[in-house]
Amino acid sequence: MVAVSHISLDSNLSIMKRIQLLYILLALGVFSCSKDLPTELAYSSYQFASIDENGGDWIPILISDGAAIEIPVPTDVNSDAYQAELAEVKSAIASMTASQKKAVEQWTNNPVVRWNEIALELIAKYNLIPGPNADGTYTLPNPGNPDGPPAFPFAHPPYASRALAYMSVAQFDGLIAAWHYKFEYNRDAPYVLDPDIEHAFVANPIPAYPSDGAVVAAASGAVLKAMFPLEAAYLEQKQNEHLEALLLSGEAVPSDLDGGVKIGQEIAALALTRAAGDGMKNAQTSKAVSDSIANAAYERFGWMWINQESPQRPVGLTPLFGKVKMWNVPNVEATRPPVPPTPGSEAYNADVKILEGYLAEKNQEYRRIANFWQDGLGTYTPPGHWNEFANRFIVESKMNTLRAARTLAYLNMAVMDAGISCWDAKYYYHYPRPIQTIEGFKTIAGTPNFPSYTSGHSVFSAAAAEVLAYVFPEKANLVRGWAEEAAISRVYGGIHWTFDATVGTTQGINVAQYSIDRARQDGADF
């Protein structure tokens, strides 16, 4: 009942307070009133800051170049076949229902952000850690039996980073291919060719064949269906709704969509082929392998992390995620951090004092920071949080779909590489959590089921911030500050040592550099 959708989050909060007061006043007089809260980023179609005519020459990730995926030569706009398509669009628009119109407005002319939000929603939906069985054992999610229980997947941060990376890379490569053909064939959009066709979006001079929106719909839908198999029907419905919206927007005839869908499907298949062989399927190990990893660390360093839950979890989260194939770092050891302080050493004891100090202080600002960055179970995870920031910046800087996908592709490659590097350190060093080694220690954040050093939040966030600082230089100080706050938030939460956070931040910066170096060479900056 009250429009809160066109304002930034900060002012959103203070306005919410006023709205709440209004509700109180209303409630004194009436029994109920509707409560509207934002469920997606608020934006409508917009004028792109650039068209990137040479985008088809940019260097993609999975394919050699934009021409590597082939689509049919489009029909001439004067042909009977095209004119029939145009008539079909016209009649569909003429009989558009209110809900179809709403869908067109909701998808906008930058659906890259919308598909990213769908991915974030599914991550949050599936980010539930399996609980114990009645006999105290645990059953792990099994892709062979996705219904479970427990349902597959458990969309924890490494899983989330990987799902986002494959989706974003597929979108990016697919859009380079789309851009290649758009400016090769230069076929105009229906609304340009026929002034009677109403255009639902702000006009941007980008040729229509193949439809970039259709590439995004097909590529995103296919990758997400593989990552979230129980959501196949939901994703199919979203994909169809999106394709229909593209047609009803006046920007595409059916053959524009078909060309885009073909690119989207082919690039998604290539992405999923890489995913099938990237080592993720071996990341969650047996107890025997897990124990041998822990024992190796104990032999090497004289310590090992032990799960403190009740009943105890026999295996930590994805002990071999550190062996998953990286995107842009040549080998994971290249970014492995130095050895952490030995428990009982002077440096370690100093950290114990710091942690006990934070706990005793009950500082509301520490609490706020710990909660703001927690992104724990049931949420979109830290990789999801950084995708949300990227989505806001993409819309704010009016990126076209290709630039948006590029931003998210490099962000999510760096974030997944950060996760792999972090997990390598976690299971190589196998360092205990504060609740394991400080007697009687309590936390305000949930202690995760994996070793302490380095902090996942720190590495993910620093890597994400570096990529965003590269793409949005005017945001560099802001995002680097956020990354440092995200890192220390885990110490305030009581679940990490300060060196987990500080060393993790450096690690994330190092990891991201490989993705940024690659991005600088892909043609988008020239």
Partner 1 sequence: MNIRITSLTGILGCLLGFSINTLAQSPTDELMMPKKEICFLLNYEYGDFDHYWEGDSLRENATIATVQRRTLLLMAAYGITDRLDAYVGLPYVSTNSTTPNGGKFAGTSGIQDLSLGLKYKVIESKQEKSDFSLFASVLFSTPASNYLSDYQPYSLGLGAPQIAWRAIAHYQLQSGFYGRLSGAYVWKGYTEAEREYYYNNGSYYTAWMDVPSSWNLDLAVGKWFFGHDLRVEATFSSQTSTSGDDIRAYNAPQPTNKVDMSRVGGFAHYYFPKVKGLGVLGYASQTISGQNAPKMTAFGGGVTYQFGL
Binding interface with partner 1 (CB under 8 A): 9, 12-13, 16, 20, 23-24, 27-28, 31-32, 35, 37-41, 117, 120-121, 124-125, 128-132, 149-150, 308-311, 359, 364, 367-368, 371-372, 374-375, 377-380, 384-385, 388, 435, 441-444, 446-447, 494
Listed residue (171, 175, 169) closest to 58, CA to CA: 175
Listed residue (7, 255, 219, 203) closest to 118, CA to CA: 219
- Decide if 59 contacts 523 (C-beta within 8 A): yes
Least Cβ distance, residue 435 to partner 1 (angstroms): 5
CA angle at 68 for the pair 63 and 73, rounded to the nearest 5°? 150
Comparison of 379 and 397: residue with beta carbon closer to partner 1: 379
- Decide if 93 contacts 199 (C-beta within 8 A): no
Least Cβ distance, residue 316 to partner 1 (angstroms): 15
Least Cβ distance, residue 388 to partner 1 (angstroms): 7
Q: Which amino acid is at 47?
A: Q
Least Cβ distance, residue 371 to partner 1 (angstroms): 4
Least Cβ distance, residue 133 to partner 1 (angstroms): 11
Comparison of 4 and 68: residue with beta carbon closer to partner 1: 4
Least Cβ distance, residue 433 to partner 1 (angstroms): 9
d(CA 105, CA 43): 9
Comparison of 327 and 393: residue with beta carbon closer to partner 1: 393
Comparison of 129 and 214: residue with beta carbon closer to partner 1: 129
d(CA 93, CA 33): 35
d(CA 492, CA 486): 10
Comparison of 447 and 454: residue with beta carbon closer to partner 1: 447
Which two structure tokens, joined as six digits, stand for 165? 């990376």
The burial class, CB within 10 Å (0-12 / 13-18 / 19+), for 197 is: buried
d(CA 16, CA 36): 10
> What is residue 322's three-state secondary structure?
helix
Residues 78-112 as b/e (b if ≥16 CB within 10 A, e otherwise) read eeeebbebbeebbeebeeeeeebeebbeebbbbbb
Listed residue (312, 522, 348) closest to 432, CA to CA: 348
Comparison of 31 and 526: residue with beta carbon closer to partner 1: 31
Comparison of 4 and 59: residue with beta carbon closer to partner 1: 4
Comparison of 15 and 51: residue with beta carbon closer to partner 1: 15
d(CA 160, CA 154): 9
Comparison of 123 and 268: residue with beta carbon closer to partner 1: 123
Least Cβ distance, residue 300 to partner 1 (angstroms): 27
Residues 432-466 as b/e (b if ≥16 CB within 10 A, e otherwise) read bbbbbbbeebebbbebbbbbbbbbbbbbbbbbbbb
Comparison of 489 and 505: residue with beta carbon closer to partner 1: 489
Contacts of 169 (CB under 8 A, 6+ apart): 61, 62, 271, 327, 409, 412, 413
Least Cβ distance, residue 343 to partner 1 (angstroms): 18
Least Cβ distance, residue 32 to partner 1 (angstroms): 7
Contacts of 217 (CB under 8 A, 6+ apart): 111, 115, 239, 242, 243, 246, 260, 261, 264
Comparison of 71 and 122: residue with beta carbon closer to partner 1: 122
Evaluate the CA torsion angle 11, 12, 13, 15 in order and state its sign: positive
- Decide if 476 contacts 524 (C-beta within 8 A): no
Which two structure tokens, joined as six digits, stand for 191? 């609304």
Least Cβ distance, residue 396 to partner 1 (angstroms): 15
Least Cβ distance, residue 496 to partner 1 (angstroms): 14
Comparison of 214 and 317: residue with beta carbon closer to partner 1: 317
Least Cβ distance, residue 377 to partner 1 (angstroms): 6
d(CA 349, CA 343): 7
